[in-house]
Amino acid sequence: MAKLKFHKIAAIVVLVATAGWIATGQFSSVGSAREEAKPAGAEPDRPVVLKTVQVAVPPRVEHARTIHVSGRTEADKNVNLAARVAGIVEELPVEEGSRVKEGDLILRLENEGKEAAVTSAQQTLAHREAEFAAAERLSKSGNLASLQLDVARANLAAARSALEQAKAELDRVSVRAPFDAVVDKIQVEKGTAAMQGAEVATLLKLDPIVAAGEVSERDLGTIKAGDKAEVRLVNGETLSGTIRHVSRAASPQTRTYRIEVVAPNPDNGIPAGMTAEISIKTEMVETVALPRSVITLSNNGELGVRAVDEAAQVHFYPIDIVDDTPEALYLAGIPREMRIIVAGQDLVTDGEKVKAEEADAATIRELASAARPQQEQ
């Protein structure tokens, strides 16, 4: 009998082993055992991966909120002088742009006999004074009835009244400056006629200069008369002033309140009507200084920040913006020692568990630099 070759023997062995395995029926229970271990349709277990965020405790600083108000300059006093009587302009010693002192002559009309009336009244008064003196002497000596003395006294009083009236009529032909001012406009010319009540000149008092603006209802309660303010003019000049007046009645159209800031203007160099920005610092309050990149929105669209508690859970905190400066936002309403999310705050939601890592050195420097400008003031 010929010997079987090795490869034939190996094939027979494999065939016999395979047949034996199939005969056991175990090949059909492999999938069934796996299904019994896990419900049908269930996904395999996966490890929980937490999102990583960077957190930092921001510095707390004392900050005075600055209210910025757009306004304009105005004269401290602005008056239109009017002629008190009708007449021809006889004297006009001032020009537009002239500086005048209180009581200086602005304009004089022709007196038309008013000076003569004063002279006549003075002479009449002198005569009545002499009559009364003589009557008084005679009355004391018993040579004049008391009734005649009373008549002399009445005549003297009437003469004095007539003189005062004549002087008043003469004074009405002159128009004088009621305060130190600049003559801004002259509406008449020498030799022309001026009607009674007609405007003849406009005077402006520019020292101090007034910067006027309007503040909102929200800001009204934080300012008061006497507070310091800074006025920046459109030409770049900056003035230090004081709030003189805060209106207690709102404008019906804008619901804003007028404020007036006064600042020295000794040379009258600042005119009325110039565009100005008024900056008012409020009382110092404790705030948190943060860069704008940290601010986020809640699901309801509310402005705030997200922070991580001790359990590494995310919470949203609405904020109150105390001030908005080029360096940082100054915020109130953030609890002390709160770990604010400074990177990744827009990728997490409220209540979510996260992996919180301390912010890197660059972020910490950014937070510190945001607070430094206010602390150095």
pLDDT at 336 over 60: yes
Neighbours of 94 (CB within 10 A): 18
In the chain, CATH 1.10.287 sits at: 111-172
Find tokens 């909120």 and name the residue: 65
pLDDT at 67 over 90: no
Q: List the one residue out of 118, 106, 116, 88 whose CA is nearest residue 174.
A: 106
The phi and psi torsions of 115 (rounded to 5 degrees) equal: -65, -40
Rounded average pLDDT over 325-352: 82
Q: List the one residue out of 366, 218, 181 whose CA is nearest residue 292.
A: 366
The two structure tokens encoding residue 305: 């920040």
At residue 207, the pLDDT reads 92
Kindly report which listed range (50-54, 140-144, 197-201) carries the lowest average pLDDT score: 140-144
261/12 Cα distance (integer angstroms): 112
The two structure tokens encoding residue 67: 């209210």
At residue 34, the pLDDT reads 43
pTM over 0.85: no
Three-class secondary structure assignment of 10-51: HHHHHHHHHHHHHHHCHHHHHHHHHHHHCCCCCCCCCCCCCE
Rounded average pLDDT over 242-261: 92
What are 74-106's pLDDT values in tens digits?
999 999 999 988 889 989 999 999 999 999 999
More confident residue, 377 or 48: 48
Neighbours of 361 (CB within 10 A): 8
CA distances from 162 to 46, 125, 154, 330 (A): 114, 8, 12, 73
What are 269-312's pLDDT values in tens digits?
999 999 999 999 887 888 888 888 888 888 888 888 888 888 88
Strands (E), 83-196: 87-91, 99-100, 105-109, 174-176, 181-186, 193-194
CB 58 within 8 A of CB 290: yes
Q: How confident is the model at residue 22 (pLDDT cuts 50, 70, 90)?
A: low
In the chain, CATH 2.40.420.20 sits at: 52-62+285-375
77/204 Cα distance (integer angstroms): 6
pLDDT at 375 over 70: no
Q: How confident is the model at residue 366 (pLDDT cuts 50, 70, 90)?
A: low
Q: Does domain 111-172 have CATH number 1.10.357?
A: no
pLDDT at 7 over 70: no
CB 307 within 8 A of CB 339: yes
How would DSSP label each residue in 224-259? -TT-EEEEEETTS-EEEEEEEEE-SS--TTT--EEE
Q: Quick one: what percent of the chain has pLDDT higher than 90?
A: 28
What are 147-179's pLDDT values in tens digits?
887 888 888 899 888 888 888 787 888 899 999
Instruction: Give the CATH fold of the 68-75+205-284 domain.
Output: Elongation Factor Tu (Ef-tu); domain 3 (2.40.30)
259/236 Cα distance (integer angstroms): 21
Find tokens 């509406």 and name the residue: 187
- Which range among 48-52, 167-171, 243-247, 371-375 has the greatest average pLDDT? 243-247
How would DSSP label each residue in 297-327? E-TTS-EEEEEE-TTSBEEEEE-EEEEE-SS
Instruction: Give the CATH fold of the 52-62+285-375 domain.
Output: 2.40.420
Q: List the one residue out of 203, 9, 19 whose CA is nearest residue 95.
A: 203
pLDDT at 373 over 80: no
At residue 76, the pLDDT reads 94
Q: How confident is the model at residue 32 (pLDDT cuts 50, 70, 90)?
A: very low
At residue 24, the pLDDT reads 62
Q: How confident is the model at residue 42 (pLDDT cuts 50, 70, 90)?
A: low
Query: Mean pLDDT for the chain?
Result: 82
Element housing 278 (H / E): strand 275-290
Find tokens 């827009």 and name the residue: 346
With vertex at residue 222, the alpha carbon angle to CA 73 and CA 283, rounded to the nearest 5 degrees, is 105
Rounded average pLDDT over 94-121: 87
At residue 99, the pLDDT reads 93
pLDDT at 68 over 80: yes
363/64 Cα distance (integer angstroms): 25
In the chain, CATH 2.40.30.170 sits at: 68-75+205-284
What are 195-239's pLDDT values in tens digits?
988 999 999 999 999 999 999 988 888 888 999 999 999 999 999
